[in-house]
């Protein structure tokens, strides 16, 4: 059984880093719009530099480090997955399509049977 620890306490330094990252995102967006007369290269350059700085500051904080560790663990788990071969994938797809066809026929037959039972036999509406 895996136990996970939920940590909600963030140090003041981490709070400051997260606030700085958020401020860098806002500053990058503001620079993008304020530099509209300088040309697209200046706009996009300021936006990308500001966002890159925000990412660096975010990943320097403890929540950012935990997110990076989570990403590494998730990637490690994805590598462990045994993917089906092409033949197996095609077979399973055909099984699913076959089941869908059988279920559609069953539901259609059930619907028509109930329609005949209620409307023709019980209520007599189609005579």
Residue among 54, 53, 55, 31 nearest 43 (CA): 31
Residue among 127, 106, 105 nearest 116 (CA): 127
Banded pLDDT at 127 (limits 50, 70, 90) = low
Banded pLDDT at 126 (limits 50, 70, 90) = low
Residue 22 and residue 71 share a domain:
yes
Is 59 part of a structural domain of the chain?
A: yes
Is 6 part of a structural domain of the chain?
A: no
Banded pLDDT at 11 (limits 50, 70, 90) = confident
Return the SS3 of 82: coil
pLDDT in tens, 68-91: 999 999 999 999 999 999 999 999
Q: What is the pLDDT of residue 125?
A: 78
Q: Are 14 and 62 in contact (CB under 8 A)?
A: yes
* Alpha-carbon gap, residue 121 to 124, rounded angstroms: 6
Residue 112 and residue 74 share a domain:
no
Is 1 part of a structural domain of the chain?
A: no
Banded pLDDT at 9 (limits 50, 70, 90) = low
Q: Is this structure's pTM higher than 0.85?
A: no
Q: Which residues contact 125 (CB under 8 A, 6 or more apart)?
A: 119
pLDDT in tens, 28-62: 999 999 999 999 999 999 999 999 999 999 999 99
Question: For residue 71, what are the domain limits?
Answer: 11-81
Average pLDDT over residues 12-17: 92
* Alpha-carbon gap, residue 103 to 97, rounded angstroms: 10
* Alpha-carbon gap, residue 14 to 66, rounded angstroms: 12
Residue 89 and residue 57 share a domain:
no
């Amino acid at each position: 059984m895996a136990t996970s620890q939920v940590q909600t306490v963030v140090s003041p330094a981490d709070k400051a880093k997260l606030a700085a990252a958020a401020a860098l995102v806002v500053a990058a967006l503001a620079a993008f719009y304020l530099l509209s007369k300088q040309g697209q290269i200046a706009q996009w350059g300021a936006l990308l530099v500001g966002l890159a700085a925000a990412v660096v500051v975010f990943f320097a904080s403890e929540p950012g480090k935990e997110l990076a560790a989570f990403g590494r663990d998730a990637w490690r788990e994805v590598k462990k997955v045994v993917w089906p071969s092409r033949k197996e994938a095609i077979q399973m797809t055909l099984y699913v399509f076959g089941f869908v066809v059988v279920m559609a026929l069953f539901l259609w037959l059930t619907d028509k049977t109930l329609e005949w039972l209620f409307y023709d036999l019980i209520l007599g509406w189609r005579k």
